[in-house]
Structure 1
């Protein structure tokens, strides 16, 4: 009984022993690379140093890229006293990287967090503004903000449809004329269609350039129009398109090689002036778009010739159908493969397809393309049996072609990405007013402004912490290194003092849903906490 009583007393003494004798939890002292560091080349290792020993068998260090994808790193290595741990990454390309750590201290307490570093000079994150022609040319104030289509917008879309239809038909007919030996009635028809499509394309290209330039250069003097066409890449592409449409009449008198070169140049100029040119890597995106448009031109031009021949001479239509059905299969395969490839390059995540009208129209286009493949298979089956093309099949194929061109003329004018909007959070309260701004709110570099108003009786804050938490990695927050600055904006509240802080850097390293956590400690050690959520793409 005495031993039991003595044990109870010793346990009680241990429980009430002064807290100063208990070692503090592990704390992160140093990182390499440092938080916010901008490195010229890939680091050889990522090292974390703590104030005391940590467990190396539990937890770990993760390295995330700018899309929050986990990258491969070596197993954890520790120094002798286990106060410093490191992993070795593979050779890192230019980009924004996040180090996320979850470590168990020797006394069993978790230690976790995140920080960001940059390698090289990575390109800015994709943003919907990338595809906004007004913004590119410095005319962001133009354009209607109304949700309903205006009459001028309807005209613009009609012009775009006519332009894309004539471009594909002119280039496609030229290509088929060069790779197919037409004779007799089919030869005369191919010449007639070549001339007709070139004329139509000249008219379409002039309308296209005029209406688009008018939209972009609204209220601008004529001198600015000349600068648009002579000093901007998009303006020079438009001008080159009109020049090529004029040259097309001379090409009609040339041989097959000249026709192919003209069609290739026409498609190349169009590839360089759309969404593909605004993406990276440009060589790949523009190359895929070029193949995509070439395949579309071969299919559209060939189908138009087949329909015209079927109306004029069924036997000639049957002969050409043999060549067209084989070329159509290859064209449709190229359309599907390049379309998938460009979608993967345009969008950081496939889930973005459901967030924009661009994605909805792309889905509709994919469905129409699937129907075209089915119709093309039926046509090829008839041709291989030696039958003439079916009128119904040709009509359906023609209608599907028109619908696809309509969709293309619409969704090439729409951004593939959801639009990011700056974060602007304000909240009034008796104990504290808060204002948080994050601009432009894109993955990568942002300007972050935090303003705090505290009652005069409370005085200046003892500490202010701004922390961003990702929905994907909630237990690994990123602390924003705030610096106090002298704010000149007039935002005074009677009885309150204002305290402003600023940060700038890659503290939103990847897209997603984020929570901003604001923690303010006043002089009496009272902690005031505010949170707000925001999203970027």
Structure 2
């Protein structure tokens, strides 16, 4: 049988066309990608209680067994949930939630529509009353408004005050620790107590005056009374002055309990007016700060006594040095542990250590503490060999102590966190001018985002404007900002350009991160103009 090749070719083409038409006829109708139509909880909503689940509704079915949905808190920690399930014919994705505490939560989804296209996005909701985000403003001090010279003077007085505080309380503690001090040791206690108390009284008065003067600048003298009676800080300052004055009496008491009680009260009040009292977990940070100060007093006061006795009586220095070396080792361990715990409580992320002067000073202080441990070890070895400490090592230890005290005095008065500042972006261009403002640029709270675009008059008003925020940790899940156009008249006009202004307020920055703002503007001719700018918050 002979087959005409031309006829066979026509028949094959016809069969292929018929097969294609049949496949199209019976294939699922997916003419567009799946789009998100509804969320539960609603995007940017504020709820009184924890929602039982998160539910996403799409305009068409999404693929089962593919994609994911996760919920993260304001620390970017993933909330443990059950597996997501599909409902309503595959158009709804639902995830049951555990009970959520007060906070800002971000829902991120990555799904595949039935036409095979990936769909992703993020949105935010709020539960209860989230605590204020901690940044540099949390630990703001009156030094922020001072000039450079005034601030340097305040830091110098702060160093002297801190040194006098540790010397006075440290010597008092050692006079309690040593049961039967020798004549030389008792002389050291008496002499150093007097020096420490006088220095403490002068520096505490000067320190409080400088701070109060900065706070009350431009205020009438009558307002000073309100500062010391109507504010917790002012009352704490008065308590500090009274306790310092009582110290002159306490150090003369033969009863050791009186000296110990005075030290505890004085260091306790000092802990209440520092950074520890500004932290969210006040009880823990105040307790650790008190322990930190107590350990610092034991080390600093003991070293001062050892140096004094070393110059007066070498044999007694050897005897006291043996006791001091054990106490110093314990106090240094306590200093390190309490310091680490306070750092973990102060900083949301350890990476912030490298972003502030506070972190830099803490790093230097840590290195000096390591040097002290090495010096202390050498001192112990020398005392085991010769019976008394070496003068060179003692002097080196004293210098290291002075440096650590100075750093501690300064960095305990600085903010441990980097500041969050409003972000402003402006860019000119022939095709478009754009201005973006994010204020106050604080994660976990409401931020006002304003966007202005100027298009050439020939292009007309924007057809659509989209603003998306992408986190550096979730680059494929942007948060679309629900911009609302503002009719507030011309502002910062440019000849030949038409201005359009938009604004939105809400918790659009749910956690600290580096953010990229993507601005997409469509003109009346469907030409899309894209601009990007990056900013971050802490």
- Normalised by the length of structure 1, the TM-score is 0.91
Change (3 A) 1:240 1:482: same
SS at 1:24 equivalent: coil
Contact 2:142 2:211 in 1 (8 A): no
Residue 285 of structure 2 is aligned to residue 285 of structure 1 = yes
Report 1:268-283 matches (<5 A).
268-283=268-283
Contact 1:379 1:390 in 2 (8 A): yes
SS at 1:56 equivalent: coil
Report 1:96-245 matches (<5 A).
96-134=104-142, 142-144=145-147, 150=149, 152-185=150-183, 186-245=185-244
Partner of 2:248: 249
Stretch deviating more after TM superposition (86-95 or 435-444)? 86-95
Question: How far has the Cα of 1:56 moved from its partner?
Answer: 3.5
Question: How far has the Cα of 1:480 moved from its partner?
Answer: 1.0
Contact 2:103 2:444 in 1 (8 A): no
SS at 1:418 equivalent: coil
Distance 2:337 2:182 in 1: 37
Partner of 2:455: 454
Any idea what the Cα deviations from partners look like across 1:194-232, whole Å, max 9, x if unmatched?
Answer: 222111110111111122333343344323433333333
SS at 1:508 equivalent: coil
Contact 2:141 2:413 in 1 (8 A): no
Stretch deviating more after TM superposition (331-340 or 427-436)? 427-436
Distance 2:381 2:87 in 1: 71
Residue 470 of structure 2 is aligned to residue 469 of structure 1 = yes
Partner of 2:5: none
Which runs of 5 or more structure 2 residues have no equivalent in the other structure?
A: 1-7
Distance 1:316 1:91 in 2: 64
Change (3 A) 1:50 1:121: same
Question: How far has the Cα of 1:516 moved from its partner?
Answer: 0.9
Report 1:489-528 matches (<5 A).
490-528=491-529
Distance 1:359 1:464 in 2: 41
Partner of 1:443: 443
SS at 1:58 equivalent: coil
Aligned CA RMSD, in angstroms, stands at 2.5
Which runs of 5 or more structure 1 residues have no equivalent in the other structure?
A: none
Any idea what the Cα deviations from partners look like across 1:176-209, whole Å, max 9, x if unmatched?
Answer: 2223214331223312322221111101111111
Report 1:324-403 matches (<5 A).
324-383=324-383, 387-403=387-403
Question: How far has the Cα of 1:322 moved from its partner?
Answer: 2.9
SS at 1:43 equivalent: coil
The number of aligned residues is 526
Any idea what the Cα deviations from partners look like across 1:152-189, whole Å, max 9, x if unmatched?
Answer: 44332221111000011111112222232143312233
Partner of 2:531: 530
Distance 2:133 2:530 in 1: 31
- Normalised by the length of structure 2, the TM-score is 0.91
Any idea what the Cα deviations from partners look like across 1:31-58, whole Å, max 9, x if unmatched?
Answer: 2222112222332222222222222322
Contact 2:425 2:436 in 1 (8 A): yes
Partner of 2:3: none
Partner of 1:87: 95
Distance 2:475 2:15 in 1: 43
Contact 2:490 2:499 in 1 (8 A): no
Distance 2:277 2:225 in 1: 22
Question: How far has the Cα of 1:251 moved from its partner?
Answer: 1.4
Any idea what the Cα deviations from partners look like across 1:407-463, whole Å, max 9, x if unmatched?
Answer: 112222322222222111122334433221101112122111112233445444332
Residue 43 of structure 2 is aligned to residue 35 of structure 1 = yes
Distance 1:388 1:125 in 2: 53
Partner of 2:34: 26
Question: How far has the Cα of 1:15 moved from its partner?
Answer: 11
Change (3 A) 1:242 1:337: same
Distance 1:60 1:338 in 2: 41
Contact 1:133 1:216 in 2 (8 A): no
Question: How far has the Cα of 1:493 moved from its partner?
Answer: 3.1
Distance 2:24 2:181 in 1: 105
Change (3 A) 1:177 1:41: farther
Partner of 1:480: 481
Contact 1:279 1:285 in 2 (8 A): yes
Question: How far has the Cα of 1:11 moved from its partner?
Answer: 6.8
Distance 1:322 1:496 in 2: 82
Stretch deviating more after TM superposition (108-117 or 174-183)? 174-183
Residue 408 of structure 2 is aligned to residue 405 of structure 1 = no
Q: Which has the larger radius of gyration?
A: 2
SS at 1:61 equivalent: strand
Distance 2:369 2:343 in 1: 15
Partner of 1:6: 14
Contact 1:437 1:449 in 2 (8 A): yes
Change (3 A) 1:534 1:83: same
Partner of 1:58: 66
